[in-house]
Every structure is written in structure tokens, then in C-alpha cells.
Structure 1
Amino acid sequence: MAIEIKAPAFPESVADGEVAAWHKQEGESVARDELIVEIETDKVVMEVVAPEDGVLGKIHAQEGETVMSEQLLATLEEGSAASAPSGAAEAASSADAEPAETASAPDDAAALLGPAARQLVEEHKLDIAAISGTGKNGRITKEDVVNYMKSAEDSASQAPKSAPAPAQEETVAPTGERIEKRVPMTRMRAKIAERLLDATQQTAMLTTFNEVNMAPMMALRSKYKEQFEKTHNGTRLGFMGMFVKAACEALKRFPEVNASIDGNDVVYHGYQDIGVAVSTPNGLVVPVLRDADFMSIADIEAAIKDLGLRARDNKLTIEDMTGGTFTVTNGGVFGSLMSTPILNPPQTGILGMHKIQERPMAVDGEVVILPMMYLALSYDHRLIDGKTAVQFLVAIKDLIEDPARILLQL
């Protein structure tokens, strides 16, 4: 009996998706809940797993193809590769039994090639015997061939440094040759580019700066970090939790910064859903902390850690990144001393944190060395006046420089 494997049901905010990668090929055995294919949308990468044990049948949507919500991706034959009825499993087995065209590969190695792997081997004229198979019973999958090719490229690029060939045997590239590589943008990167461009063209964005003395916050963290971690089951006390709480308190005082523009209307939000910018290999994503004003600092730190890990592993859902009334981003983790963060529409404000840098400062007529951080608030001038933006940023500065104000809501 064939089981249909379909694309996930996309929410209204996602029109379609793109087949990012097949982790199984036609004729390969799969186990229940094993990852089969990844679908990349404008916001997240969604995983499609096997509903039952069986053999992957015909693939209807190849890598790079655009698919709609609940579109048929492939079929799954129940049973194992050995017991599967006629269909993809037998076709794959008969195809694997044919001798490979690569003259240097023995017959027993060629028999372990899957259809997709065979195509790559024949196209690039690879030595099958040199490729290690990680599939069932030593089967060589497409990923094994791709990894082998990458390793070969890395070895070739490092060889001249470790063991340069004699001068008479060197193959020198023509003088002046400059290599270029052109690759298409991923769907997520293209969407990020589109949104950032829209933000700069469709908002009256300005940025105001201030600096904050981090010494009180650092002293508080140093004093309580071990006790905090023990009390809250391993959750570490960082600066993001404090800044998110300070932002929530400041947003209550200046509701315009927590508002959004919808056409000719201004929508004032009576809650604080704080987006936290997270960098991933696929690009910058902004998962949202719901009702952050009701969360403790420990809850915020634990949630940020969880969101960061899920973002790294492509486990975020559409719901995790939908909404948000204000965003906090920390370029300081990468060493940024000052920057102008870009708005995340329809939000009208974003707070940028930066690197903590020791600098000589004048305090009560004396020069002292203090750990200082530049803060940046980018805001939409269509809604927020300069006075409001400056006062909002000063409020955050006051809360951070005297952390007791956060607890006492002063």
C-alpha cells in the first residue's frame, strides 16, 4: 500500500516553499519519524518525516522545485527494501545491479550505489572504491558522494601549502585569472533581503545613540551568576535578560515605541512581545518572546537559549517568528562597537546592543576607566518623534545603570 507524503500545511503568511534537500532517495528504506525531506519557506526550514516504516517510492518534487501547501512530494511503500513489492524498490535494485560505467570501480562497490549517487559518480567520473557508504548495509548515498567531493576539493586546496610540487611539475593558472562563483540566493536569504530593502524604502528610519555604564550590571552578574545558575536549573545569567526586561519597562512608559502602523491607523499594543535577533547559517531570524513583560529574567534567559538552539538546528516554527512589537539585537557578540540596526516592519523600534569596551570617563571631576556600551535605537519617525525616542533610550540607560530600578519598576 502506497502512502502519500505531502508538504506541510503552510500558514496564511507563507505562500509556498521550496524543496531544499532530500535526505532519502528512491528505493531507500526509511524508519518511522525519520527525516525524509526539508522544505524551505520564506521564514523557516520545515522538516517532513516518514509517517511509517517503509521504502521511499517515486519522488514527485525534486530539489529546488517550488511546492504549495500539502502538495504531493513522494510516495512511501510499506515494508522493507527486501520485502517491498514491485515499484521503486525493485527498480532501484535492478538499476544498482547494472555495472557502473566508471572503469576503476569494482562490481561489488557499484552495487552499493543508489540512483542519485550513481548519477553523481558517473557525471564526475569518481572512484567508487574511495567513497565510504553510510547507508544501510554500506550503501553509498548521494550525501556520501557530495561529502567525498567536498573533501577532495578541500584536500586539493590545501595541498600546495603542505607539500608544494617541484617547480617543473607545477601547473600555474594563467596570469590575471580571477575566479568567480555564482550561486542562487536561498529563499530565506532572498526574503530577508526583500524585507530589509522595504524597511529602508518605506519607513522614515532614524537612529539615536547613547552610552551606558555597564559596571553596575556586571557587578550584579558577577555576584549572583553562580547562585542564579544553581537556583534556575543551569540557566545562566546574561545581559540579554536584563535588557529585555528594561525594554519592557520602557515600552510601558512610551507606548508609541511599542506601536505599529497599519495603513492610516496606529495600532497600540497593550502587551510586549519582544523579538530577539538570532544569527543562523541561513541568515538572521527574529523569534519572538510572547508576553515578555510577564516573564522573569530566568524565564527570558532560558527562552532565548532555547530559541537560539532551535534556530541553529532549523527547528523554529512559523509561530515562533510571527508577530512581535519590538526587537532587541546584540551585535556586540560579534565585536560590533556601534551600528544602526534596521527596523523589522511593521514594528516602529529596534534596540541595538554592542560590545562592552573599557574607556576613560569623567566621573565627579576625575578620570576613571569604565566598561561602556553604546546603545542604538532605530525608530520610524512617521510615528515616533525624536524627543520620545531619546527619552525611551535614556529610560533604558537609567534602568541598566541602576538594575534595582528594573525590580522596583522605577
Structure 2
Amino acid sequence: MATEIKAPVFPESVADGTIATWHKQPGEAVSRDEVICDIETDKVVLEVVAPADGTIASIIKNEGETVLSNEVIAQFEEGAVSGAAQTQAVQSEGQVEQAAAQTEAGAAPVVERSQPVQDQAPAVRKALAETGIAASDVAGTGRGGRITKEDVVSHQAKPAAPAAAPLSVAVGERIEKRVPMTRLRKRVAERLLAATQSTAMLTTFNEVNMKPIMEMRAQYKDAFEKRHGARLGFMSFFVKAATEALKRYPAVNASIDGDDIVYHGFYDIGVAVSSERGLVVPVLRDTDRMNYAEVENGIRAYAAKARDGKLGIEDMTGGTFTITNGGTFGSLLSTPILNTPQTAILGMHKIQERPMAVNGQVEILPMMYLALSYDHRLIDGKEAVGFLVAIKELLEEPARLILDL
């Protein structure tokens, strides 16, 4: 007897979602709690799992279709194997028997090649179209020799065989590829555009000598990792320095709600993370109560979840201040855009050695430009500059952070 598979109950802030990928197709056997479908929302990707061992009877909502909270997306048969699966199993058994007979007769075993592209699942057809790989070139590992999405990814990752002669391309030929934006990327675009249009955004800059932090990190990173099981990076220093600076300048930790200013008595710092689906900002809660190891472990855990598409709504809700690090991609200077309703965001950049004047002498020092974008409706220039200078001083003299100076 078929039962219904429904979309998850979406949070209040999420109106609907889009079927991103069906990992299983009608007739395919699944195990309990195995991921069968991904639903992409404006904020996160939600996974739908099999309620029990059984097979997918039919798919009601195909890839690319919009789905509402708790809406039926497929039919499921618990503990049963559908006719399609049985047919595939019989075909597979026949292929094995045929190969065995040929082997006994001294002939090379014959195994059927992958199915034509039109016979593949939607996710596979999409992957083949996006990569430009021919279905006949991919060795299928699915039932009956069918190609899976993982087969396409594995084939693409293989090094290309050397060509006998270079392929000729017509002069003037120009290729275009059009793909739809993901819901997450569209939502990010809307928020960033709204921030530039609805705030009086201004950016102030400064620079920080990273030599003291680099020397401290080089001296203690091995002992730190041995004791805490976490790698000592630069981000924990910036999170702790920003937290202390926010205490001194409460307006930078505030937000605007209509005609009201909301001053937050806690410090929840978002760390911008780039993922394949778009920019996400998971939040470290109560950073004033966290030690350096907890900050590092928190950032590492969020980075892994973002990479695997496992971030939840609760991971990105709230936040009173944001730090973004364009330096990981080589950016020397940029003007970050506000993460509304927050009123300020700190931009880190690449550490670059430059000649600097120190006590009348020229020294080569590892310098980093810092950028603070802020909403001038709430934060005055004096506060913004003071906040950035406070971070600079705390980083150039790390003992201030430890001694609370």
C-alpha cells in the first residue's frame, strides 16, 4: 500500500521551496532515513528522507517545481519492490547469466552499456547537459547499468585522455550557457540590493600590522591544537577583537526597526561563508562568552555544514554584527555590503607585505587593510572610526585582549 511523502514543515520565514534534486527514481529501492530528495528554499537546502525501507512508487513534484510546506511530493511503498525495480533486477540477472555463459564458452563477457540519455533520471539528464558529457561515455553503476548523478561527477573528475590531434573550432564561434539562479542566490541578490537602496551606507578604512598576531600564532599554534583539538587561525582573533570593540561602541551592535533603534545586550557575530549555492552567514552566539578554541571550532563546523549544504535556518537566524573575509580569495581591498537589519560589517583582506615607516625607519611588515561599512543613519563617523581603530589596536597588541585593556 502506497503512503505519501511530504515536504518538511517550513519555518515561518520560508514561504515555499523548489525541488532541487531527486536522488531516487520510481522503482528504486531505498533504505530508512536515506536521503531521497533535496528541497531548496530562500535560505537553506532541506533534505527529505525515506520513512522506511521500500521503494519510490511515483514522483508527484518534479525537479524545478515549487512545493509548499507539508505538500505531498511523492508516493512510497514500504517494504515493497515495484514492477520497474523487478524488471531491472531480472534484466541485471539475465546480463550476469549471459556473461557467465560466455565466459565458460571462452568468449569475453558482454555487459550492456549505459542507457540512452532520454531514459535517465531528470537529475542525471541535467548533469549531462551542464557538463556536456555524452551518456554513452559514462559507465553506469545503477540498476540495469543506469547512470547515476555520481557517475557523471566521477567521469568529469577523471583526467582527460590525450587527444591524437587538436580539435578544430570554427573561427568566431562563441558559446553561451544559460542556467537559472538558485533560490538562495536570488534571495542573496535581493537582500544585497535592498541594503544598498534602503540604508545610508558608508565605508571607512584602516590598516593593521599583522606581525604580532602571526608571531603569537607561530609560537603557540602546535600547543593550542594539541590542547584544544582546533587549529589556531586568524579569525578567532578578529571575532574576539570585534566583540570587545562592540562593547565599547554599542551603536555598532545595534539595529534599526522602523523608527526605533534596538540596542542588543548580547554579541552574536555572523561569519560570511561562500558556498556553491551562494553566500551564507552562520552566526556564532554569545561570542563574549566563547574562548578562542570555541570560536575556531564553531567556524570550522559551520564551514563544513555550508560545504555539505547542511546549514539550518537556526544557524543563520539573528546576528548583531558580521565579519567577511575576502582575503581568502586574494582581495586586497573592498567595500562590504551591510547584512541588514545589522548596521555594520567588518571586511578582512589579504595580508600583504609592504614597506612601512616605523620610528623613522623603513620596515617590511605584513599589513592588512580593514574596511568597516556602516549605516550612517545610526552610526556617526566618529563612532565608526573609533570602532575600527579599537580593533586595530587590539590586534596589534594582542595582550590587550587577554588583559582586558
Which TM bucket (shorter chain)? 0.7 to 0.9
**CA 1:118 to 1:23, structure 2 compared with 1: closer, same or farther past 3 Å?**
closer
**Residues 1:117 and 2:120 are matched in the alignment:** yes
Which residue number in structure 2 is paired with residue 163 of structure 1? 164
Q: Secondary structure at the match of 1:378?
A: strand
Which residue number in structure 2 is paired with residue 245 of structure 1? 240
Q: CA deviation at 1:9?
A: 1.0
Q: Which blocks of at least 5 consecutive residues in structure 2 are unaligned? A: 92-108
Which residue number in structure 2 is paired with residue 62 of structure 1? 62
Which residue number in structure 2 is paired with residue 260 of structure 1? 255
**Residues 1:132 and 2:139 are matched in the alignment:** yes
Which residue number in structure 2 is paired with residue 199 of structure 1? 195
Q: CA deviation at 1:140?
A: 1.2
Residues 247-288 of structure 1: CA distance to partner in whole angstroms, max 9, x if unpaired?
A: 011001101000011111111100000000111111111000
Residues 295-344 of structure 1: CA distance to partner in whole angstroms, max 9, x if unpaired?
A: 11100000000000110000110110111000001111111111111100
CA RMSD, aligned part only?
2.9
Q: CA deviation at 1:118?
A: 7.5
Distance 1:26 1:399 in 2: 59
Q: CA deviation at 1:210?
A: 0.4
Query: Which runs of at least 4 in structure 1 moved beyond 6 Å after TM superposition?
Result: 95-98, 110-115, 118-121, 126-129
Q: CA deviation at 1:147?
A: 5.0
Residues 160-199 of structure 1: CA distance to partner in whole angstroms, max 9, x if unpaired?
A: xx4325xxxx7542x4232211111111111111111111
Equivalent runs, 1:284-295 vs 2, <5 Å: 284-295=279-290
Q: CA deviation at 1:219?
A: 1.0
Distance 1:127 1:201 in 2: 46
Which residue number in structure 1 is paired with residue 217 of structure 2? 221
Q: Contact between 2:113 and 2:140, CA under 8 Å: does it hold in 1?
A: no
Distance 1:270 1:379 in 2: 19
**Residues 1:396 and 2:399 are matched in the alignment:** no
Paired amino acid for 2:83: E
Q: Contact between 1:114 and 1:142, CA under 8 Å: does it hold in 2?
A: no
Q: CA deviation at 1:24?
A: 0.3
Distance 1:50 1:334 in 2: 39
Distance 2:42 2:272 in 1: 16
Quick one: which of 308, 331, 338 aligns to 2:333?
338
**CA 1:128 to 1:375, structure 2 compared with 1: closer, same or farther past 3 Å?**
closer
Which residue number in structure 1 is paired with residue 362 of structure 2? 367
Q: Contact between 1:96 and 1:114, CA under 8 Å: does it hold in 2?
A: no
Q: CA deviation at 1:15?
A: 0.9
**Residues 1:183 and 2:186 are matched in the alignment:** no
Q: Contact between 1:258 and 1:272, CA under 8 Å: does it hold in 2?
A: yes
Distance 1:365 1:94 in 2: 84
Equivalent runs, 1:293-332 vs 2, <5 Å: 293-332=288-327
Q: Secondary structure at the match of 2:120?
A: helix
Which residue number in structure 2 is paired with residue 102 of structure 1? none
Q: CA deviation at 1:292?
A: 1.1
Distance 1:144 1:252 in 2: 49
Which residue number in structure 1 is paired with residue 208 of structure 2? 212
Distance 1:139 1:150 in 2: 18
**CA 1:226 to 1:163, structure 2 compared with 1: closer, same or farther past 3 Å?**
same
Distance 1:249 1:281 in 2: 33
Q: Contact between 1:225 and 1:237, CA under 8 Å: does it hold in 2?
A: yes
Distance 1:408 1:144 in 2: 53
Residues 212-256 of structure 1: CA distance to partner in whole angstroms, max 9, x if unpaired?
A: 1111111111111111001102x0111100100110110011010
**CA 1:214 to 1:79, structure 2 compared with 1: closer, same or farther past 3 Å?**
same
**Residues 1:278 and 2:276 are matched in the alignment:** no
**Residues 1:28 and 2:21 are matched in the alignment:** no
Q: Which blocks of at least 5 consecutive residues in structure 1 are unaligned? A: 82-88, 99-105
Identity of aligned pairs, percent?
A: 62
Distance 1:353 1:249 in 2: 17
Paired amino acid for 1:14: V
TM-score, structure 2 as length reference: 0.87
Distance 2:55 2:194 in 1: 45
**CA 1:127 to 1:44, structure 2 compared with 1: closer, same or farther past 3 Å?**
closer
